A and B are shown apart, each in its own frame.
Chain A
Amino acid sequence: MRVTEKKRVKIDRDCKSNPVYCTWVNTLGGREQWLFHKVQTEGLQTSREGDFEPHTTDIENSRGQIKDITMFAQPQLVVYGVVDTEDLEGLKTILYSPNVEVLTNPDTWETDGCKWQIYRPQAGSFKIIDTNEVRNTFEVTFDKPYINNISQ
């Protein structure tokens, strides 16, 4: 007796350069997955985390006035894809998932086990679909784990 729906799964065997394989939780209690590839954009966002200005007693030999306590550095990754309209129904849920993880060992996961890293999709307003198009461009910007920095 069949007790579930028949779920049609598409199989994609194309070679992928620069793979970024994502899984994320959806609102149903399940987990989705998608492979972004080809071109990505890497970025870096920084901010000052406090500074101080000690009193300068030796102007001639001083190296400067202001000293930074530390700097915050946030790597970012923008991934793109041209996808079928029917895939956008599932793909757009990555934009509001509270947990997105990226496979960091795509070449060795079958022997070493999966190693995941949390990437956080940036919040904002997004265009998802042009309803007159069969395929649409989809883009998502991730905040990667920030760089642990030193401080003084």
Chain B
Amino acid sequence: MSLVVTKYPQVDVNGHTSKWQSVHHPITFELQRQDQQVQMKFHPTGIGVIVKVAGAIPSTIQVGQNIQYFATNGDIYTWIITDIQGENIFTDGTIPGTQYGGFVNYLDAYSKYFVSTEVYGVDTSNTYFLIGTLRHKPSTNGKLNITINEWLTSLIDLKNNFAYNQINKAMREEGGKYQVRFREQYNGTEQVQFAGANYYWSNSAKQIGEVYGSNMGDFVPTPDNTRVNRAKFLSVFPKPTYFAGFPFSLNFIYSDNMTSRQLTREEETFDINGTSIATSSTNILMSERFFNNRLLINHPYDPDVKEVDVWIEAGAETTDGDYYQEDFVDPSYGEPIIPGGAPVKPVKLTK
């Protein structure tokens, strides 16, 4: 049995993936139930359609039950099983021709089918904790739209909790890593839970017409020297003002795309005439990654400094194990397991 995630809440940013979504808009995983992959479907003369599946047919599949066949062209058929021989399911279907691929769902054999989704947050010791569990039943075409952002809003704390005492700090209540874990259940029995998938939320609300929609791609740093518009800081001021003697910070997304790269805070100061005075570079704390971060600037400044440019640079990738957190799991490891075949591309259903 398997689930395939046909759509993740992510976008492509010039060839890199942004998994950061605004939590005040729907964050939706689209899944497709696929009970068993099909090698081919054919229709011999004089009898009904035969569906040859990949692998052994479960013993709970019986004659007289309903199955649903999903062809690769998007057509969906519901048939009654008339016989089972080896890997072949005989049906009462009448659609002519031979088709390869696709999958079947056993509608009657796997009764009371639903998917439970567990949503996990990450605490200050980088340990996952359960926020909540959702249950979804698939639609008649086997699809599920699982929207989880309402659970993540429970992590928000609007208070200013930054102590302004370190160069950068993960503000977990302002955005960061979460994990979803899917599990099928049918016939009253929980099935094996799929490995978790790490994604990221931000306490943001995007506006109509903004690029990338509800995704924070415009603000997500990526290791891409060809990117024209580099990641923005999370500030609406074109030029924020630092009032000397008062606490000041910038905000940025310390994204998963920066894993295993040393980031540095770069600054260039300018005098009243706009002439460059000096530059500085300071390592950023890697321990604070995967969350929305506050960033201190390098004050105090000399009296002749009137403005300062601040930006972040990323060094080369490193394989040094010391840079890895104890519980580090590469995000790509958490993809749902799909036994028996490659994921099916989302297809347009026919009437």
Contacts and interface: CB of A to CB of B under 8 A. Distances in A.
B153 to A, nearest CB: 12
Which range contains the number of A residues in contact with the other chain?
Answer: 35 or more
A3 B313 contact: yes
The binding surface of chain A is classed by DSSP as mixed
Interface stretch (B52-60, B187-195, B222-230): B222-230
A7 B240 CA distance: 8
B231 A5 contact: yes
Interface in A49-93: 86-87, 89-91, 93
Nearest to A28: B234
B1 to A, nearest CB: 38
Contacts of A1: 223, 225, 313-315
B273 interface: no
Interface in A24-67: 25-35
B246 A21 contact: yes
B232 interface: yes
A90 B240 contact: yes
A99 interface: yes
Given A1-B314, A4-B311, A28-B219, A11 B236 contact: no
B171 to A, nearest CB: 9
A93 B236 contact: yes
A101 B230 CA distance: 31
Interface string B290-332: 0010100100010101111111111100000000000000000
Nearest to B270: A8
B309 A8 contact: yes
A30 B175 CA distance: 10
B235 A29 contact: no
B258 A3 contact: yes
A3 B312 contact: yes
A13 interface: yes
A89 B240 CA distance: 10
B342 interface: no
Nearest to A35: B243
A21 B221 CA distance: 30
Contacts of A127: none
Given A32-B236, A116-B159, A3 B221 contact: yes
A23 B240 CA distance: 12
Interface stretch (A106-114, A131-139, A141-149): A106-114
A137 to B, nearest CB: 17
Which range contains the number of B residues in contact with the other chain?
Answer: 35 or more
Given A10-B240, A28-B219, A2 B311 contact: yes
B174 A7 contact: no
Contacts of B15: none
A5 B309 CA distance: 9
A63 B294 CA distance: 60
A28 B235 contact: yes
Nearest to B246: A21
Given A4-B232, A28-B204, A28-B235, A12 B241 contact: yes
B337 to A, nearest CB: 33
B230 A3 contact: yes
Interface stretch (B63-71, B247-255, B343-351): B247-255
Contacts of A89: 236-238
A25 B203 contact: yes
13 contacts: A3-B313, A7-B235, A7-B250, A9-B309, A10-B241, A25-B158, A28-B235, A29-B202, A33-B248, A35-B246, A87-B241, A89-B236, A103-B246
Interface of A: 1-13, 16, 19, 21, 23, 25-35, 86-87, 89-91, 93, 98-99, 101, 103, 106, 109, 113-114, 116
10 nearest A-B pairs in the assembled complex, by CB-CB distance: A30-B234, A90-B237, A30-B251, A99-B158, A3-B221, A29-B204, A29-B202, A35-B243, A28-B234, A4-B312
Given A101-B159, A116-B159, 20 more contacts: A3-B223, A3-B230, A4-B221, A4-B231, A5-B231, A7-B233, A7-B311, A8-B238, A9-B308, A10-B240, A11-B305, A25-B158, A26-B236, A28-B251, A33-B240, A89-B237, A89-B238, A99-B158, A114-B164, A114-B247
Interface of B: 22, 158-160, 162-164, 174-175, 202-207, 216, 219, 221-225, 229-253, 258, 263, 266, 292, 294, 297, 301, 303, 305-315
